[in-house]
Amino acid sequence: MSTTATHALLLAGGGGGAKLAEGFAKALPPDALTIVVNTGDDEEFHGLHVSPDLDTVMYALAGLINPETGWGVKGDTLAALEMLERLGAPTWFRLGDRDLAVHVRRTQLLRQGWTLSKVTRELCARLGVRHQVVPMSDGPVRTRLITDAGELAFQEYFVRRRSEPRIRGVRYEGASAAMPSEAFLKALERANVLVFGPSNPVLSVGPVLALSGVRERIASFQGCRVAISPIIGGKTLKGPAAKNLTDLGEEPTAVGVARRYQGLCDIFVLDTEDLALARRVAALGFRVEVMPTVMATEEEKVALARRIFQMAGVG
């Protein structure tokens, strides 16, 4: 096992990605980790810029995340939202009061000309998050779903329609013209392990891979690349990843996920429950590792992080 100084680059959406980000942050010092977060599901609500995945990761690392929902701030209240509802604003996207404050602040700083990267750095610093949490891009990228119910903005599909419409395709609007953020580019150069978090390969990691030059840079990445399947036993712990793959005519299992990362990844991590899929994933050209990947506790998050570093030879 090598003793190279670790620098990990974690690609994350909300949910599973945020949990693994917590484990990484507990296992590594701040300067050894860059967490690159999907911004394809950013949206404007009430004229405010909301970055759901960035916030989920930020709240998770700040110890503020609502453990019941997996998003939003624990103990948050809905006084402002109730007033917004009374004022006739659409309120299907549930924003707590503390959460709203974050969007208010972010929007103010963005309007002052700050990049989303700089805003995120500032918010994280204020909330005591010492590890680097960075948007995948400072350019506007918006994931849009082509569905049986017409083309939908991401949050329309995901929150308002509860991922129910069948999707026929996905557009990462603006992605091919959007540059990766500076910190993302730097981490792609500097990191010796790149990890695809257990996030939705279509909706969370898809937008990251669609950015200008990212697929090529990951294909030629110098270090070890590891992917964790967000689908276990044919089901997603949370979110529509399995359903999305089915809708798109792909296999709704870890094999379907692995196919999406072919040529971009060295090690594919299967949950012990999916041991039976090991041979098929290996046949796609991956080194396969099998281990418990469900992260219900803090210990499990850190344990998974450490095992990833070990298998990547950087632990």
DSSP, residue by residue, 64-91: -B-TTTSSSBTT---HHHHHHHHTT---
- Which of 35, 102, 141, 232 lies at the binding interface for a copy of itself (CB under 8 A)? 102
Taking the complex as a whole, how short is the minimal distance between the CB of residue 140 and a copy of itself, in angstroms? 17
DSSP 8-state secondary structure symbol assigned to residue 113 = T
Residue 254 tokens read as: 């870890």
Residue 163 half-sphere exposure, CB side, CA atoms within 13 Å?
Answer: 14
Given the DSSP bridges, would you call strands 33-37 and 193-196 parallel, antiparallel or unpaired?
Answer: unpaired
Round to whole Å and give the CA distance between 22 and 191: 18
Round to whole Å and give the CA distance between 86 and 300: 43
Measured in whole angstroms, the distance separating CA 38 from the mean position of its chain's CA atoms is 5
- Which of 105, 118, 238, 280 lies at the binding interface for a copy of itself (CB under 8 A)? 105
Taking the complex as a whole, how short is the minimal distance between the CB of residue 121 and a copy of itself, in angstroms? 12
Using rule CB under 8 A, residue 108 touches a copy of itself = yes
Using rule CB under 8 A, residue 94 touches a copy of itself = no
- Which of 104, 153, 294, 303 lies at the binding interface for a copy of itself (CB under 8 A)? 104
Using rule CB under 8 A, residue 92 touches a copy of itself = no
Taking the complex as a whole, how short is the minimal distance between the CB of residue 175 and a copy of itself, in angstroms? 26
Round to whole Å and give the CA distance between 142 and 175: 8
In this complex, which beta carbon is closest to a copy of itself, that of residue 46 or of residue 260?
46
Using rule CB under 8 A, residue 153 touches a copy of itself = no
- Which of 5, 83, 275, 283 lies at the binding interface for a copy of itself (CB under 8 A)? 83
Classify 223 as helix, strand or coil: coil
In this complex, which beta carbon is closest to a copy of itself, that of residue 19 or of residue 49?
49
Q: Which amino acid is at 110?
A: L
Q: Are 314 and 39 in contact (CB under 8 A)?
A: no
In this complex, which beta carbon is closest to a copy of itself, that of residue 125 or of residue 275?
125
Kindly identify the residues of this chain, within the stretch 40-59, that bind a copy of itself according to CB under 8 A: 46-48
Classify 153 as helix, strand or coil: strand
In this complex, which beta carbon is closest to a copy of itself, that of residue 5 or of residue 83?
83
Distances (CA, A) of 150 to 161, 169, 206: 12, 11, 20
In this complex, which beta carbon is closest to a copy of itself, that of residue 59 or of residue 196?
59
Q: Quote the radius of gyration of the chain (alpha carbons, Å).
A: 18
* String of contacts with a copy of itself for each residue 180-209, x by CB under 8 A: ------------------------------
Using rule CB under 8 A, residue 113 touches a copy of itself = no
Taking the complex as a whole, how short is the minimal distance between the CB of residue 126 and a copy of itself, in angstroms? 5
Which residues neighbour 90 within 8 Å (Cβ) at sequence distance 6 or greater?
A: none
* Chain contacts with a copy of itself (rule: CB under 8 A): 46-48, 73, 76-77, 79-84, 86-89, 96-98, 100-102, 104-105, 107-108, 111, 122-123, 126-127
